[in-house]
Structure 1
Amino acid sequence: MRTFADLGEFAAATGENLGHSEWQEITQEQVNQFAEATGDHQWIHVDPERAATESPFGGTIAHGYLTLSLVTAHVVQIFTIEKLTMVVNFGLNKVRFHTPVTVGSKVRATAVLLDLKNSPAGKLGTMKVSIEIEGQRRPACVAEVLALYRDS
């Protein structure tokens, strides 16, 4: 994990790859729980037997939004900034789902700081976060993630 002393040091890392998170296996239980939480029970996500025979992916796949929702949990493994009083999600600029994540696959995130600028509520950071799939050339998801940072 990379540690930045403050937002100034973090800003100096603009354009750099900040690192990557640990690999995390995507389980059918996670996918089923996400389906329950969102109401998206499409068979390609929740019916392993049908997906094994009818899906072009050979089995069930994670919801795209499940993959996207993992961004925060993975980014906190990549870096930390000391002397912060608050960090909140501010939104997304762009999200693309390039490769489906099959159940049983392992994913991790990489992050690049694109910008950190002043805003009335603090510093607004833009990061390019890629969710990679172990053994796959193309990422599962690439997103421009916005976060609002306040320091002490």
Structure 2
Amino acid sequence: MRVFTSAEEILAAVGTEIGKSEWLTITQERVNQFAEATGDHQWIHLDVERAKNESPYGGTIAHGFLTLSLVPFLTAQIFRIEGAKMGINYGSNKVRFPSPVLVGSSVQLTSTLAESNDLGDGALQNTFTHVISVEGATKPALVLEMVTRVIF
């Protein structure tokens, strides 16, 4: 777990890999709960038997946006910022889903601080590259360029 306690520490970390999360297994229950929360009930995510027989993946897969929604949970395992007055998610510059996450597989997040800009008055705008890998897969499941702001 990396802990940042100042703007200077964050600025000094630009261009470095901040760390990796633990592996997280994606269960059918999690996929079902996400479908209920979002209203996305596509069979490729929920119908286990049909997915076994008709899907090119041989089983159900996680929603891409479920994979994306895991970023805050997994990031909390990698780093935290202490002493800040406030931190916010400012948006994303890029979100890609290069490969599916099959139910039952495990995923891991790697975070790199790509850029940090001093906005003045103790505020920084940070751009992180987050990559979610699937255990044993050659391509990542998610590549995300996420922008955050923190005020000290």
Band the TM-score falls in, shorter-chain normalisation: over 0.9
The one-letter code sitting in structure 1 at the alignment partner of 2:88 is V
Residue type at the aligned position of 2:38: T
Matched, 1:84 2:84: yes
Residues 1:150 and 2:151 aligned together: yes
Identity %: 52
Query: What residue ranges of structure 1 are gaps of 5+ in the alignment?
Result: none
- Matched residue type, 1:93: N
Q: Cα distance, 1:119 vs. partner? A: 3.1
In the superposition, the TM-score normalised over structure 2's length comes to: 0.95
Q: Residues 116-131 of structure 1 correspond to what in structure 2 (within 5 A)?
A: 116-119=116-119, 122-131=123-132
- Give the deviation of 1:123 after TM superposition: 1.1
Q: Map of 1:2-151 to 2, 5 A cutoff?
A: 2-119=2-119, 122-151=123-152
Secondary structure of 1:77 counterpart:
coil
Q: Aligned AA for 1:107?
A: V
Distance in structure 2 (CA, Å) of the matches to 1:120 and 1:46: 48
Runs of 4+ aligned residues of structure 1 deviating over 3 Å after TM superposition are none
Question: Is the CA contact (8 Å cut-off) linking 1:86 and 1:150 kept in structure 2?
Answer: yes
How far apart are the structure 2 equivalents of 1:42 and 1:114? 35
Alignment partners' CA distance in 2, 1:6 and 1:49: 52
Aligned partner letter, 1:131: I
3-state SS of paired residue (2:31): helix
Secondary structure in 2 matching 1:136: coil
Q: Deviations along 1:89-109, whole A, 9 cap, x unmatched? A: 111000110110000010010
Equivalent position amino acid for 2:95 in 1: V
Separation (CA, whole Å) in 2 of partners of 1:138 and 1:8: 34
> For residues 28-64 of structure 1, what are the alpha-carbon distances to aligned partners after superposition, in whole Å with 9 as ceiling and x for unaligned?
1111111111111000001001001100101000000
In 2, the alpha carbon distance for the partners of 1:120 and 1:136 equals 42
Q: CA shift at 1:148, angstroms?
A: 1.0
